[in-house]
C-alpha cells in the first residue's frame, strides 16, 4: 500500500513539474472571488501555477496534410471538425498541452477545446464574445477546464457547463458546434483529404504518444483525480461516454456497453422528449448522435451485415452521418451539436440526474 501511495505521489509531482500544476488545492484567485459567480466558488481551484495562460491556447496554428503528421499513430484520438467545407483533425496530442485552439475561418470563429482531466471534447462558436479568443484561465471546476475570454468584459466559462458562470457575462450560453471524436485512422478513412494540426506550434512540447503527461490517468478503472471530488460509481470513472445533455439529466452512452453490443451500432434513444439516433464504430472508437430526419421525414436506422442502413431505402450510412451508397447516397443527417464525449466521472458530476444507456432499445 505504501509503495502504491509513493508511486502516486511521484506521478503527481511529475505532472506538476511538466505542466506547472499546483501541488495542493487552492482557492480561486481574487478575480473569481471579486466577480459574481453562480457556481460554488469553494469548488473552483487553482489548476496550474502562473494564472491565466499558464497553459497556452493556440490561435490559427498551421495545418498540414495527413502524411506530415508523423507525431500521430493510427490510434491517436482526434477531434474531427468540418469548417467552411474543410475537414480538420485537432489531435488530443496537441490539446494535452494547449487545451484550446482558436480558429478564424472566413465568416466563422470557433474554439476547439479539450480538457485532459475530464476527457471532454467540445467546440464553441465564439460570436457570443464578439469573436474574441478563449484562453486557459488556470482554474478548474470539478476538475474541468475553466476558459476565460480575452475581451474587456472578461468572464470565466467552465467548459462542460457551456456558459459563463463568473464575471460580467454570467449566464451567457455558448453555442456548441458538432464534433466527431474518433481515432486518427478513423477520421482519415472518412476524410482522406483532411488537414491536421502541425506539431510546429511554436512551443517545445512532446506531442507524440510517449509525451502524454498524465501517466496512467486515462485508464478507465483509474479513480485517481487531480483534485478530490465525489465519483459516481455506476460506471468506471475514466470510461468514455457519449453524453447527450438535457437539463440536469440527459443520457450517457458508455463506450464499453457499445462495444459489448457489437462492432457497429445504430441506436434510437429518447433524450429530453426528442428521439435521436447514435452511430457507433468500434474499430474507430467513435460515437456520434444525429437527428433521424431527412427532408422533413423521420428515418429509422438499423444494422445489416455490419453496415448501418436506413430501413426505408436500404442506403448505407457511415459514422459521420453521410450516406455512401443506395438511393440516398450523398445525403447527410444533422448531428446533435450538443452531444460530446467525456470521461464518465465528469459527465455524471455535471449531469447528476443522468440516465445510462444499458444496451437495450
Q: For residue 248, what pLDDT is reported?
A: 86
Alpha-carbon distance 56 to 292, whole Å?
39
Same domain, 23 and 159: yes
Same domain, 192 and 307: no
Residue 221 included in any domain: no
- Average pLDDT, 10 consecutive residues per value, the chain (361 residues): 36 40 39 68 90 96 98 98 95 98 93 98 97 97 98 96 96 97 98 98 97 97 96 98 94 98 96 96 98 96 97 97 98 98 98 93 62
Residue 63 included in any domain: yes
Alpha-carbon distance 49 to 168, whole Å?
25
β-bridge partners, 245: none
Domain interval for residue 266: 240-356
Same domain, 119 and 268: no
Residue 55 included in any domain: yes
Q: For residue 42, what pLDDT is reported?
A: 87
Same domain, 304 and 175: no
Same domain, 17 and 142: yes
Same domain, 191 and 276: no
Find where cell 480561486 sits.
28
Helix or strand holding residue 115 (H, E): strand 108-115
Nearest to 241 by CA among 343, 338, 116: 343
Chain centroid to CA 325: 30
Residue 209 included in any domain: no
The backbone region for 30, taken as left when phi is positive above 0, alpha when psi lies in -120 to 50, beta otherwise, is alpha
- Range 285-313 burial, b when 16+ CB lie within 10 A, else e: bbbbbbbbebeeeebebebeeebbbbeee
Same domain, 23 and 129: yes
Alpha-carbon distance 215 to 205, whole Å?
16
Q: For residue 27, what pLDDT is reported?
A: 42
Q: For residue 49, what pLDDT is reported?
A: 86
Same domain, 88 and 165: yes
Same domain, 179 and 277: no
Same domain, 248 and 333: yes
Q: For residue 163, what pLDDT is reported?
A: 97
Residue positions counted in the chain: 361
Residue 155 included in any domain: yes
In sequence order, the 6+-apart residues with CB closer than 8 A to the CB of 337 are 175, 176, 177, 178
Alpha-carbon distance 289 to 351, whole Å?
18
pTM of the model: 0.91
In the chain, how many domains are there?
Answer: 2
Cα radius of gyration rounded to whole Å, the chain: 20
Largest CA distance in the chain: 64
The answer to whether the beta carbons of residues 168 and 156 sit under 8 Å apart is no
Same domain, 162 and 39: yes
Amino acid at each position: 500500500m505504501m509503495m502504491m501511495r509513493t508511486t502516486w505521489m511521484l506521478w503527481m509531482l511529475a505532472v506538476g513539474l511538466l505542466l506547472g500544476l499546483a501541488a495542493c488545492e487552492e482557492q480561486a484567485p481574487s478575480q473569481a472571488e471579486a466577480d459574481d459567480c453562480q457556481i460554488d466558488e469553494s469548488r473552483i481551484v487553482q489548476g496550474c501555477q502562473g494564472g491565466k495562460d499558464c497553459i497556452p491556447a493556440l490561435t490559427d496554428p498551421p495545418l498540414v496534410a495527413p502524411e506530415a503528421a508523423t507525431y500521430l499513430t493510427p490510434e491517436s484520438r482526434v477531434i474531427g471538425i468540418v469548417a467552411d467545407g474543410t475537414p480538420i483533425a485537432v489531435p488530443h496530442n496537441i490539446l494535452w498541452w494547449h487545451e484550446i485552439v482558436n480558429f478564424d475561418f472566413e465568416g466563422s470563429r470557433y474554439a476547439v477545446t479539450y480538457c485532459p482531466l475530464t476527457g471532454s471534447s467540445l467546440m464553441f462558436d465564439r460570436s457570443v464574445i464578439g469573436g474574441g479568443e478563449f484562453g486557459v484561465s488556470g482554474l478548474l471546476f470539478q476538475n474541468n477546464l475553466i476558459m476565460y475570454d480575452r475581451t474587456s468584459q472578461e468572464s470565466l466559462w467552465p467548459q462542460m457547463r457551456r456558459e459563463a458562470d463568473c464575471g460580467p457575462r454570467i449566464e451567457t450560453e455558448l453555442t456548441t458546434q458538432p464534433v466527431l471524436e474518433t481515432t486518427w485512422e478513423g477520421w482519415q478513412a472518412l476524410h482522406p483529404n483532411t488537414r491536421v494540426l502541425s506539431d510546429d506550434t511554436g512551443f517545445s512540447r512532446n506531442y507524440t504518444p510517449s509525451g502524454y503527461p498524465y501517466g496512467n490517468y486515462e485508464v478507465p478503472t483509474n479513480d485517481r483525480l487531480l483534485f478530490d471530488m465525489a465519483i459516481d460509481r455506476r460506471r468506471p470513472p475514466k470510461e468514455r461516454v457519449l453524453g447527450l445533455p438535457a437539463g440536469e439529466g440527459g443520457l450517457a452512452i458508455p463506450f464499453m456497453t457499445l462495444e459489448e453490443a457489437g462492432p457497429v451500432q445504430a441506436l434510437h434513444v429518447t433524450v429530453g422528449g426528442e428521439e435521436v439516433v447514435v452511430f457507433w464504430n468500434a474499430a474507430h472508437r467513435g460515437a456520434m448522435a444525429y437527428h433521424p430526419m431527412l427532408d422533413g421525414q423521420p428515418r429509422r436506422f438499423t444494422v445489416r451485415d455490419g453496415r448501418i442502413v436506413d430501413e426505408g431505402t436500404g442506403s448505407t450510412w457511415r459514422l459521420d452521418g453521410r450516406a455512401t451508397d443506395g438511393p440516398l447516397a450523398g445525403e447527410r443527417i444533422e448531428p446533435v451539436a450538443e452531444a460530446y464525449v467525456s470521461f464518465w466521472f465528469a459527465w455524471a458530476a455535471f449531469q447528476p440526474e443522468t440516465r445510462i444507456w444499458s444496451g437495450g432499445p
